[in-house]
Amino acid sequence: MALLSQPYRALIIGSTGTIGSAFMELLQEKTSCIECIGLSRQSAPSIDYQDPNSIQAAAKALSSSGPFQLIINTIGVLHSADWMPEKRLEDLNSDQLIELMKINAIGPALTISHFSKLLDPNHSVMATLSAKVGSIEDNRLGGWYSYRASKAALNMLIKTASIELARSKPNTALIALHPGTVNSRLSKPFRGEQIGRPPLDAANDMLKVIEGLNKEDSGSFISYSGERLPW
């Protein structure tokens, strides 16, 4: 039985990013979603992973707006104007490792900690965007040290949190969701415009996966296609 019953209320974290804005557009058009709230650095309240205190403050500000049956966190970073994914060990530097851990693992973990309190205990899903390259077992090419490590850390945090939530909110599914390659700023330097899917298509694929989840799926690492990925 699908966990996300209809109608439902949704919260998109990172709502101004490529995938986040696509989810906003998609959910605002779905009759099954009666309300969709977006949260970003520009929203009020705002959320900024460079300021960890903003995460708790945003959750507290939205506490009266809950509960939500669906929360999707789309925030993540692969590269910046100052650095690109490392190809070799000699490319490693502490600043890049720390920055990606902060944005891709610590921020989402604190988001789960504070925003899981806003989930409907009767039936809800919280999906956090991860990446297939964060799979340790599936790593056959190497490289991309900081990004791989940060997403692997994220996956462990999600899995661990799902075990705890299974006790306090057994009708909640907490999952790591791989979006695939999407036409975005993140993927542009890696031929994303040629090999990626339009953001709205990617959001639609992922929503279909979310809509098919049941509570036994909590703690899973799932691709946009519905494939179960190895940790």
Neighbours of 215 (CB within 10 A): 16
User: Which residue do the tokens 């966990």 mark?
Assistant: 3
Domains of the chain, with CATH numbers?
A: 8-223 (3.40.50.720)
Rounded Cα distance between 131 and 213, Å, is 19
- E-strand ranges in 8-123 read 8-13, 33-39, 70-73
Q: What are the start-end ranges of the E strands in the chain?
A: 8-13, 33-39, 70-73, 124-129, 172-178, 221-223
Contact 103, 76 (CB under 8 A): yes
Token pair of 148, please? 């791989």
To the nearest 10 degrees (0 to 180), the angle between helices 107-115 and 145-168 is 10
How many Å apart are CA 154 and CA 130, to the nearest integer?
7
DSSP symbol at 230: P
What is the overall mean pLDDT for the chain? 94
Closest CA to 185 of 56, 14, 31, 53: 14
Q: What is the mean pLDDT of residues 215-226?
A: 97
Q: Would the pLDDT of 210 be above 50?
A: yes
Is there a contact between 182 and 19 (Cβ–Cβ < 8 Å)?
yes
pLDDT tens per residue across span 82-135: 889 999 999 999 999 999 999 999 999 999 999 999 999 999 999 999 999 999
- 8 A C-beta contact, residue 154 and residue 98: no
**What gap in Å lies between CA 27 and CA 84, rounded to an integer?**
33
pLDDT band at residue 194 under the 50/70/90 scheme: low
| Residue 164 CB coordination number (10 Å) | 12
Which tens digits make up the pLDDT trace of 150-180? 999 999 999 999 999 999 999 999 999 999 9
Amino acid at 31: T
Structure tokens belonging to residue 140: 């056959």
